Amino acid sequence: RGRNCRDVTVRLDGGEVECGFDRLTRFLRATAEVPGIVVVAHTLEFRHLARSQVTKRDNVVEIGSSLGLCTKILAQASDVVVGFDVSAAHLEESRRTFPELRFEFLDIFEEAERFRGMPESRHCSVCFLDIGGDRELQHVLDAIKILRHCLPHLRLMVVKSEQLEAAVPKGCE
């Protein structure tokens, strides 16, 4: 509730917090058949959701793990996390920087069935997807479709995409 779009009061942990409307993240409501999907445009929002929306009960896959910075955040919040990327250089750097974490090569567009057969897919409850925040919209939508097919127990997908975030209607629930 709030007096205008710039003044919002949110109930949180038994109290109320005032914040600006622009600080809220649009969330697409989840059902038993469709996981919740959160779409953001920027890295800071993506990492904030990694800290705030993942629990120790979650098994997480990150598609597009890049240098592993968000994977590290996800590892601190979750039970299990695996970062996947298509860049051999990024995977090498991630493994060197975070040797305690697991990073694997995966091209979700070319290896969907291999991914679907992995134990990480069968047990995954949360997926973070960042295949390039400025990636063409259709590629992002294709990746979402593939991941929904490959992750049968998914409860939440967080997608970083400037174009998709801009395309989601304001006030969408």
Q: Residues 39, 168: contact at Cβ < 8 Å?
A: yes
pLDDT at 113 over 60: yes
Q: Residues 68, 48: contact at Cβ < 8 Å?
A: no
Tell me the average pLDDT across 11-31: 59
Nearest by Cα to 133 from 67, 41, 25, 39: 41
Confidence grade of residue 24 (pLDDT, cut at 50, 70, 90): low
- What percentage of the chain reaches a pLDDT higher than 70? 77
Q: Residues 125, 58: contact at Cβ < 8 Å?
A: yes
pLDDT at 27: 52
pLDDT 10s digits, 69-97: 999 999 999 999 999 999 999 999 999 99
Give all domains of the chain, ordered by start, each with its CATH number.
Answer: 25-167 (3.40.50.150)
Query: What would the DSSP string read from start to end of 53-82?
Result: S--TT-EEEEES-TTSHHHHHHHHHSSEEE
pLDDT 10s digits, 29-71: 555 567 789 999 999 999 999 999 999 999 999 999 999 999 9
Give this prediction's pTM. Answer: 0.82
Q: Which amino acid is at 65?
A: S
pLDDT at 104 over 90: yes
pLDDT at 137: 92
Confidence grade of residue 28 (pLDDT, cut at 50, 70, 90): very low
Q: Is 118 helix (H, G, I), strand (E, B) or coil?
A: coil
Confidence grade of residue 135 (pLDDT, cut at 50, 70, 90): confident
